[in-house]
Amino acid sequence: MKSKLFVFALIAMLVLAACGTTQKTQPEPTDSINAFPLVVDSVENAYPVEGLAQDTIEETQTDGTYPITEGESVVETEETLTVTVLAPSSTTSIPILLAAKYLPGLNVEIFENHPQANAQFMAEEDLVLVTGLSVGFDMFKNEVPLQLINTNVTGLSYIVSCNFEINSFAELAGHEIYLPFEGSPLEETTQFFVEQAGLVYGEDVKPIYAPFDTSTALIKNGDDAIVAIPQPAATAMAAQECGHLGASFYDTWNEVTGDSDGYPQVGAFAKAEFASAHPEWVIAFNQAVARAIAELQANPEAAVNEVAEKFSFPVPVLLKALQATKFTVQSDQEMKDSVIHYYKTIGKPLDESYEAIFYTLP
C-alpha cells in the first residue's frame, strides 16, 4: 500500500512540475510544431542494412560501446523477449526507431507528454524510458528503482528566438527564456551556461515555464520570444518568418568546458530488476542502437525517409534537424564516467547514493 501511495504521489508531483505556473500571461495554445502523432513501431527483423559504410561504423565506436561489424546480425535468444521503449518526440527517437529492426521483440512508442510517459514507465513492467538525463536522475532520487543502461545523444538543443538574434547565452542578459518545465534538463544546462556567462540566473535571465505548444505558438504568431528547444522543433521554428536558430547547447558546452563532444543529454533507463534479469537484452539493445546510429550517419537521408511517417514534419526539416543532432552511444564505465563528469562540471556532483543508478554488465 505504501508503495502504491508513493507512486501516485510521485506521478502527481511530476504532472505538477510539468505544468508549473508561468510568470506572465501566456497565449492560448495553438497547433504545436511538437504535436507528433503517437505511434508504435513493431520490430520486424526484415530490413537489413546493405552497403553500410564500414569506415563510418568504425568511427562511431569508442570504448564502452558495442562493436558492430559489417553484415553482423544481432543474435536472437531462444525465447524472444518483448520490450517496449518509450521515446520522446524528437530526433532522439530516430536511431531508436531504426534500432527496432535489429532487435526482435522491441517495440517503440513515441510520446509527447513527458509526465504521462514517466507515469507509464513507473506503472508497467518491461519498459525502457528514453528521456533527458536529469529526468531519470530525479526519478531515482525519488526512489524509483531504475538504472541507466546507455546514453546516446550529446547534442540536441538550441535557443530559437523570434524578431531578434541570441547567438550566445551572454546575450540573454535582460531577457526571459521559455523552458518546458521547472527543473527540466533544458533548465539545468541553461542555468549553468547563464552563470558561466557571468549572469545571475533568475535575475539577469528570467525563466518562464510553458509547454512547447505555448512557446512555439509565440514564434509562429511572430511575437517576441526566446525558447530553449530540442530538434526537430528547433529547425522548424527557426524556419518561421521571424525565427532565428541561435546558440547551440552542444557548442556552448564544448566552448565553456573544453570538452569536444558535448555532454550526455539523453539516456535510456530500465527498471533495475529488469536490467539485472536480462543482461543479454541490454547488450543487444545497445548493439542495435549503435548500429542504427552508424546507419543514419552513413546515410541520413535514407534514415529519415524510413521513419518520416512517424513524425509530423516534412522530410527536409527532419533531415536538417537530424544533421544538427549529435549521437554518441556510451555504456558501462565510459557512460558512468561521462555522467559523473557532467554533474561535477555543472556544480551538482553525485554522491555515493547514486552508485546504483549506473548499470554495469555482470
* Lowest mean per-residue pLDDT among 32-36, 102-106, 333-337: 32-36
User: What's the pLDDT at 179?
Assistant: 98
CB 278 within 8 A of CB 218: no
Contacts 24+ apart (CB under 8 A), 138-141: 138/183, 139/10, 139/269, 140/354, 140/356, 140/357
More confidently predicted of 261 and 10: 261
Location of C-alpha cell 505556473: 21
pLDDT tens, residue by residue, 1-26: 444 444 444 444 444 444 443 343 33
* Lowest mean per-residue pLDDT among 1-5, 45-49, 123-127, 163-167: 45-49
The model's confidence at residue 112, banded by pLDDT at 50, 70 and 90, is confident
pLDDT tens, residue by residue, 142-161: 999 999 999 999 999 999 99
pLDDT tens, residue by residue, 187-235: 999 999 999 999 999 999 999 999 999 999 999 999 999 999 999 999 9
The model's confidence at residue 63, banded by pLDDT at 50, 70 and 90, is very low
* Lowest mean per-residue pLDDT among 76-85, 212-221, 321-330: 76-85
User: What's the pLDDT at 80?
Assistant: 87
User: What's the pLDDT at 2?
Assistant: 42
User: What's the pLDDT at 248?
Assistant: 98
The model's confidence at residue 78, banded by pLDDT at 50, 70 and 90, is very low
How many CA atoms are closer than 13 Å to the CA of 121, on its beta-carbon side? 32
* Lowest mean per-residue pLDDT among 35-39, 219-223, 332-336: 35-39
Round the average pLDDT of the chain to a whole number and report it. 84
* Listed residue (285, 268, 265, 266) closest to 148, CA to CA: 268
User: What's the pLDDT at 128?
Assistant: 98
3-state DSSP assignment of residue 39: coil
Q: How far apart are CA 104 and CA 90, in angstroms?
A: 23
| Verdict on whether the full-model pTM lies above 0.85 | no
